[in-house]
Chains A and B, each alone.
Chain A
Amino acid sequence: MSSLQMPKVDKAIMSKKDKIALDLRGIINSKNVLSSPDELRPFETDGLTAYRQMPLLVVMPETVEEVSQILKYCNENKIKVVPRGAGTGLSGGSMPLEDCVLIAMGKFNKIIEIDYENRCVVTQPCVTNLAITHAVQDKGFYYAPDPSSQIACSIGGNVAENSGGVHSLKYGATTNNLLGIEVVLMDGTITRFGGKVMDAEGYDFLGLMTGSEGLLGVITEVTVKILKSPEVVKAALVGFPSIEDAGNCVAQIIAEGCIPAGMEIMDKALTKATNDYSKAGYPTDAEAMMIIEFDGTEHEVEAYIKKAKEIAERNNSSSLKISKSNEERLKFWAGRKAAFPACGVLAPDYMCMDGSIPRGKLAEVLNEISRLSKKYNLPVANAFHAGDGNLHPLIMFDANDKESLRKCEEFGADILKYCVKVGGALTGEHGVGIEKRELMCEAFNDKDIQQQLTIKVALDPNSLLNPGKVYPILRKCAEEGRVHVHGGKTKFPDIPRF
């Protein structure tokens, strides 16, 4: 994995490190330019810890004008730039390059305006996702997208990755909850896309920037919608004798017009592992376990829970519990949210995949994963955001055994290829980054990729902003693509990952 190919290192840039540092210290407060190895080390990786690389320099701008001047300087001097928010991304989107200036946006950490009349929050990009909800919750509002790392991930990073979360089935991902951004382009141009109004006129650059993984601009301000918190939230915990039954239940709940706030499935292996780990009271004899959550007003939630219960029973549910209190509901979730650490107990290492599939293909894909598990002789546990078809298989292996690692990598790539084959996508919410870069040709042909690259070149002609990410360098489908965790130690072990 360390053999990952990155864009060619510019030796001339490397040799001018001191000069570049000096120049940058002329642009921003000199203490905000980091250059010694000790200062640079904390930035060598993000949430995808399998890959590490020290940057040439780190800069920590404090204003949008500083960001603009840094980018302008780097553009004129052909220096690569990698933007970074909280560094919790799981696909290596903010992994540095050896010859890059890493722009760490950590000082952009203030909420600028809370505007209840227009139901939005204007914030700097390195405010955490959860901090936005915290800022408005006493007035009964919240920010809907809830990536599992929401206590640590930054809102700017959420925009760059178009982060989702457990509740994106009902409330959408970041792109659907975003009103505006201020962004600096590689040539230093400062501009705004959107604002406090919806569907701002002209080309939808707001939509283009969202999920562009830091390749098109550096986000310096974000305006998000806030919603009134639901009055009642209830969950049902349902066991099924087969994955097929659980899958059919999901399809029928959707077909009959209920859109739950969240709908999660775990297979037997993961149900057992998480239950042992968190004592969540799960039906460990069930082949599949499902959490269905509804939110809204009391009557609305009651009506939907009743319907979901009928549908579950029609699909042979073997057990069914409905939360009687918020505490009980959170207990239902506790096991699900402990899925990653629970797997850390079962094996020295695991890789988390992030494929997206049509909901109806769940049983088929899980059968294929099970077949591959036997073929590669590696155990696997599966978590699934069933409502929106986002599958997270956790492959267990031992990274100290090279053969085991190689098999795990092949296994992972086979899963993602199968996701694409059944009509799904390579990544549902973690992003492509460096991790799934070479698998892009599974999903797109050369013309598709070329069209995207042309857009990149239009905005960044020298390809200096976050190069080597998202788009294949090798143009062959190398077998890479997962979150690697060794000895249960993730980069941020205390951040929930689900």
Chain B
Amino acid sequence: MSMEEKQNSQTSLDFNQNIFKPSSREEIVEIVKNCYRRNIPLEINGLKSKNKIGRNFQSEKTLDLSHYKGIIDYKPEELYIKVKAGTPLKEIVEELSKNNQQLAFEPNDFGYVFSGESNSGSIGGVVSCNFAGSRRFKVGSARDHILGFQGINGKGETIKSGGTVVKNVTGYDLSKLISGSFGTLTILTELSIKVLPKPETSKTLVIKNPHLKKALSYLGKGLSSSTDPSGGVFYPDYFGKNFVLNDLTHEGGLTAIRIEGPTNSVEQRLNRLSKELGLLDQELSILDNEQSNIFWSRTKNLEVFKSLKSNLIRIVVPISETLQVIQKFKNYETRYFIDWGGSLIWASFDQLNTKILNEIKDIVKKHQGYITLIKVEEDLKASADIFTIDPIKYKISEKIKRSFDPKRIFNPGKMYTGI
């Protein structure tokens, strides 16, 4: 009996199945080692909330990590939680809430866009996609909150990087590299994540205004003021009706700026902000804690694009470029809103085709930004680049991919052809 046969005979793995649902790290290692030996590509899934994002690719087998879940260790006073990668984000958020803590980077819930209802996915998926919500400009995204991880590389070796302490410069910061790598570098098994206290109070200043130019000016002034906002969005007229709340009866376009912290301080900063922006009472509404949370939760969940039939494109540009970019979109039928204080545009284009898409890409590139296709029609998906990359970075990405996954068995082609 060869060594390989011996190894296989010692395991319980039925390799004939097409979907693996491991519940232990040892099982994952065994699956990967088998795939590595046999050159079998694997699609890696968590709770499938974001698995439609990315290119279509061929995979013989699927690794479903939804059974590999659970909180391993949570130390509120140390501000960290260690979890298995398949743990639902919802479970983590609920556990943290018991101690009045949170994941400050507010990961987007794409469930509303893809299926009309909440599906915030697994923590592994959140990290692998690295899409942060409105607090991004203040606290960072998932990549800024990962203290360390354990994963399985493409050869089936268990590797780790970082740890559970905030300050750690020991070796390369691989936690950054795996964040936003869409499962193409390593299968995440454990994640140690920095958590933060929830603010005592969160309030939101809503300014009724239909004009983007004015909105960007409010957001720019607000974010550059010492009032320390933690969110800044603009919704055009057509989305205004989505935010009718007790203290917000206005149904038109609006700019919203969130202020968080100790209650006294929030009041003081809100007053100052409205003065600095030169606002009249009739122009503004203040959302109390509860309404503010509803407002930002709807924003995080992209609820204005709920059950979207057409496409959704995520565009990031420097704040100084946003106005020009949107003005150039006027040639198309577009619905959009703006997050990250002016830098992030979520947009849906009617009659999107390859030509229009290429024009959009050119515009965004010219303005020093990048675009990611979140949801596109299948025929377009087959032909378009979902992520943008230049030839030099492609070459480097290829080398990095090989250093983790030499036989390209993890989500091959999900980000780029050949990676």
Q: Which residues of A contact B (CB under 8 A)?
A: 115-119, 140, 161-162, 164, 168-169, 172-173, 175-176, 185, 189, 191, 193, 195-208, 210-212, 216, 228-231, 251-252, 254-259, 296-300, 302-304, 356-360, 385, 388-390, 423-432, 436, 440, 443-444, 447-452, 454-455, 457-459, 470-471
Q: Of the candidates A193, A201, A254, A454, which one forms a contact with B77 in the assembled complex, judged by CB atoms under 8 Å apart?
A: A254
Contact A428 B163, beta carbon cutoff 8 Å: no
Contact at A425–B402, with CB atoms within 8 Å? Answer: no
Nearest opposing residue in chain A for B265, CB measure: A300
Collect the chain B residues with CB atoms within 8 Å of residue A162's CB.
169, 173
Distance of A119 Cα from B132 Cα, bound (Å)? 19
Would A118 and B320 be within 8 Å (CB), given that A201-B370, A259-B196 are in contact?
Answer: yes
Which residues of A sit under 8 angstroms from B116, Cβ to Cβ? none
Interface residues of B in 153-179 (CB under 8 A from A): 153, 157-161, 163-177, 179
Question: Across the interface, which residues of B come within 8 angstroms of A200, CB to CB?
Answer: 316, 370
Q: In the assembled complex, which residues on chain B have CB atoms less than 8 Å from the CB atom of A356?
A: 165-168
Contacts of B329 in A (CB 8 A): none
Taking A119-B224, A458-B403 as known contacts, 17 extra A-B pairs with beta carbons closer than 8 A to each other, sorted by chain A number, are A197-B368, A198-B316, A201-B370, A201-B387, A208-B176, A211-B173, A254-B197, A257-B199, A299-B262, A300-B264, A303-B264, A303-B265, A360-B75, A451-B159, A454-B404, A457-B403, A458-B400
A303, B175: Cα distance in complex, Å? 35
B383 at interface, CB cutoff 8 A:
no
For B153, B169, B199, B369, the residue with the greatest tally of chain A CB atoms inside 10 Å of its CB is: B169
Q: List 15 A-B contacts (CB under 8 A).
A: A189-B392, A197-B316, A197-B368, A203-B181, A203-B400, A208-B400, A228-B224, A255-B77, A297-B228, A299-B265, A358-B75, A359-B78, A388-B167, A423-B164, A443-B163
Which residues of B line the A interface, CB within 8 A?
Answer: 75-79, 99-100, 130, 132, 136-137, 140-141, 143-144, 153, 157-161, 163-177, 179-181, 185, 196-200, 220, 223-228, 261-265, 267-269, 272, 316-320, 340, 343, 368-370, 372, 387-389, 392-393, 396-397, 399-400, 402-404, 415
Which residues does chain A contribute within 8 Å of B369, judged by CB atoms? 197
Chain B residues whose CB sits within 8 angstroms of the CB of A195 once the complex forms = 318, 368
B396 to chain A, nearest CB (A): 7
* Contact call B173/A210, Cβ cutoff below 8 A: yes
**Closest Cβ of chain B: how far from A311's Cβ, in Å?**
12
CB–CB B397/A204 < 8 A: no
- In the bound complex, CA of A231 to CA of B272 (Å): 12
- Indicate if the CB atoms of B165 and A424 lie closer than 8 Å: yes
Contacts of B175 in A (CB 8 A): 207
Set B75, B169, B180: member contacting A429, Cβ < 8 A? B169
Nearest-neighbor residue (CB-CB) of A179 within chain B: B318
A228's nearest neighbour on chain B, judged by CB, is: B226
A452 in contact with B165 (CB, 8 Å): no
**Residues from chain B with Cβ under 8 Å of A164 in the complex:** 167, 169
Closest A-chain residue to B186, C-beta based? A451
Instruction: Say yes or no: B396 contacts A199, CB within 8 Å.
Output: no
Q: B82 to nearest A CB, angstroms? A: 10
Contact B198 A302 (CB under 8 A): no
A302 to B173, CA, bound (A): 37
Question: Which residues on the A side are within 8 Å of B75 (C-beta)?
Answer: 358, 360
Q: Are A459's CB and B171's CB within 8 A?
A: no
Q: Are A451 and B343 in contact (CB under 8 A)?
A: no
Contact partner, A458, options B79, B153, B399, Cβ 8 Å:
B399
- A198-B137 CB under 8 A given contacts A203-B400, A440-B171: yes
Of B176, B197, B389, B399, the contact of A202 (CB 8 Å cutoff):
B389
Residue contact A172 to B140, C-beta cutoff 8 Å: yes
Nearest CB of A to B136, in Å = 6
Given A257-B100, A298-B268, A230 and B226 touching (CB < 8 A)? yes
Q: Once the chains are docked, how many angstroms separate the CA of A172 from the CA of B176?
A: 14
With A and B bound together, what is the CA distance between A440 and B172 in angstroms?
12
How far apart sit A199 and B343, CA to CA, in the bound complex (Å)? 11
Q: Which of B79, B140, B158, B169 contacts A176 (CB 8 A)?
A: B140
Asked if residues B393 and A191 are in contact (CB atoms below 8 Å), the reply is yes
Contact A207 B143 (CB under 8 A): yes
B226 touches A231 (CB 8 A): yes
Q: In the bound complex, what is the Cα–Cα distance between A444 and B75 (angstroms)?
A: 23
B265 to chain A: which residues have CB within 8 Å? 296-300, 303
Query: Of B132, B223, B224, which is in contact with the most chain A CB atoms at under 10 Å from its CB?
Result: B224
A432 touches B318 (CB 8 A): no
Assembly CA distance A78 to B258 (angstroms):
55
CA distance A202 to B100 in the complex (A): 34
Distance, CA A119 to CA B225, complexed state (A): 11
Contact A199 B132, beta carbon cutoff 8 Å: yes
Docked complex Cα distance between A451 and B161 (Å): 10
Q: How far is the CA of A86 from the CA of B388 in the complex (A)?
A: 36
Query: A331 CB to closest chain B CB, in angstroms?
Result: 25
Assembled-state Cα–Cα distance A118/B75 (Å):
37
Bound Cα distance from A259 to B102, whole angstroms: 14
| Contact A448 B137, beta carbon cutoff 8 Å | no
Given A119-B224, A191-B393, A228-B228, A197–B317 Cβ distance below 8 Å? yes
Q: How far is the CB of A92 from chain B (nearest CB, A)?
A: 14
Complex Cα gap A469–B410 (Å): 31
* Contact A357/B165 with A118-B319, A191-B393, A197-B343 known, Cβ cut-off 8 Å: yes
A201 to B176 CA separation, bound complex (whole angstroms): 12
Q: Beyond A228-B226, A360-B77, is A447–B157 a contact (Cβ under 8 Å)?
A: yes
**Which of A258, A259, A455 touches B400 (beta carbons < 8 Å)?**
A455
- Contact indicator B170/A432 (Cβ below 8 Å): yes
The answer on a CB contact under 8 Å between A425 and B180 is: no
Q: Which residue on A lies nearest to B151, using beta carbons?
A: A451
State the Cβ distance, B244 to closest chain A Cβ, in Å: 31
Taking A191-B392, A203-B180, A452-B174 as contacts, is the C-beta distance between A431 and B169 under 8 angstroms?
Answer: yes
Complex CA gap A473/B31 in Å reads: 33
Q: A residues within 8 A CB of B167?
A: 164, 168, 173, 356, 385, 388-390, 425, 428-429
A459 to chain B, nearest CB (A): 7
**A453 to B, closest residue via Cβ:** B403
Select B320's contact among A115, A429, A452, beta carbons within 8 Å: A115
* 6 nearest A-B pairs in the assembled complex, by CB-CB distance: A207-B176, A257-B197, A300-B265, A428-B167, A303-B262, A458-B399
Q: Which of A161, A169, A176, A297 has the most chain B CB atoms closer than 10 A to its own CB? A: A297
A447 and B158 contact, Cβ closer than 8 Å, known pairs A205-B393, A208-B177: yes
Q: In the complex, A476→B5 CA distance in Å?
A: 35
Contact B170 A389 (CB under 8 A): no
Contacts of B163 on A, CB cut-off 8 Å?
423-425, 443
**What's the least CB distance linking B106 to chain A, in Å?**
13
Instruction: Give the chain A neighbours of B415 by CB distance below 8 A.
Output: 202
Given contacts A195-B368, A358-B78, whether A300 and B261 have CB atoms under 8 Å apart is yes
Report whether B389 and A201 are in contact in the complex, using a CB–CB cutoff of 8 Å: yes
Given that A228-B225, A257-B100 are contacting pairs, would A304 and B262 also be in contact in the complex, using a CB cutoff of 8 Å? Answer: yes
Q: Pick the contact of A251 from B77, B99, B174, B220 — CB < 8 Å?
A: B77
When chains A and B are docked, how far (Å) is the Cα of A61 from the Cα of B140? 34
Contact partners of B400 in chain A: CB under 8 A: 203, 205, 208, 455, 458
A105 to B393, CA, bound (A): 24
CB of A432 within 8 A of CB of B169, answer yes
Q: Contact between A428 and B141 (Cβ–Cβ < 8 Å)?
A: no
A195: nearest residue on chain B (CB-CB)? B368
Question: Nearest Cβ distance between residue B55 and chain A, in whole angstroms?
Answer: 13
The CA-CA distance from A206 to B227 in the complex, in Å, is 29
A173 to B171, CA, bound (A): 15
Residues of B near A173 (CB, < 8 A) are 167, 169
Residues of A within 8 A of B132 (CB): 199
Which chain A positions have C-beta within 8 A of B172?
208, 211-212, 216, 452, 455
Task: Given A257-B197, A358-B78, A432-B169, verify A202-B393 contact (CB < 8 Å).
Answer: yes
